Amino acid sequence: MRFFNVLMKIFLIGIILCAVVFMAAFFRIYQRFTYEVPIAEIVVEPLKNPQTSELNLNVFMDSKKKNIGTYLINGDQWMLEGDVLIWEPWLHFLGLDNYFRLTRLRGRYIKTRDEENKPKTIYALVPDEENWFWRTFYRIGQRLPFIKSVYGYAVFQSAEKQKSFLIFVNSSGFSIKEQSPAK
């Protein structure tokens, strides 16, 4: 009988340990595949001229906010573009975050006719738009064993009201969240 009690205790401890390991793995996977890291902040200030806004762009580097500049934007919306390198899922699990760079900030019109006929504003955010690293990975990245995808990505939002937005990089690219009203 004593042997049976010892065996039952070992069995219960084993089940509890398995449950703890399973839960730890679950939370690690959940954390890795739902992560969002803030990469930029855009503060919109509409101007008196219709379809014209002033945007203040800040980027987050090493958890510190750095002002990149203030830009005059023509259009109904602003658009932030970039390049994204997506690692294979098992590398995300091991802790490797997507690699990205912000490339352009531009104005965007809602109507195609306006886009064709009205003045455009496009600002380069990188000194070398034909960077060899990104050109190479666009060409051959998906054939490499650790890379799932390499592509361009953009987020855009209304520029008609005074607002502040945070832009995040996540497991699939960029996302955007409106912040409380800009002051």
Predicted confidence (pLDDT) per residue in 97-156, tens digit: 888 999 999 999 999 999 999 999 999 999 998 899 999 999 998 888 899 999 999 999
- Domain boundaries, given as residue ranges, for the chain: 1-34, 37-178
Give the percent of the chain with pLDDT over 70.
Answer: 98
Extract the tokens encoding 36.
């969002």
Do you know the residue count of the chain? 183
> What band does 18 get if pLDDT is binned at 50, 70 and 90?
confident
User: Where does the chain show beta strands of DSSP type E?
Assistant: 36-46, 52-61, 64-74, 77-87, 99-108, 122-124, 147-158, 163-170, 174-178
- 181 vs 74 pLDDT, higher one: 74
The answer to pTM > 0.85 is no
Strand-pairing partners, residue 48, are none
Least confident of 3-7, 14-18, 31-35, 37-41: 31-35
| pLDDT for res 182 | 45
Reported confidence tier of residue 24, pLDDT bands at 50, 70, 90 = confident
Percent of residues, the chain, with pLDDT higher than 90: 52
Residue 40 near residue 80, CB atoms below 8 Å: yes
User: What tokens does 95 get?
Assistant: 């802790």
181 pLDDT above the threshold of 80: no
- For 136-164, b where at least 16 C-beta lie within 10 A, e where not — what string? ebeeebeeeeebbebeebebbbbbeeebb
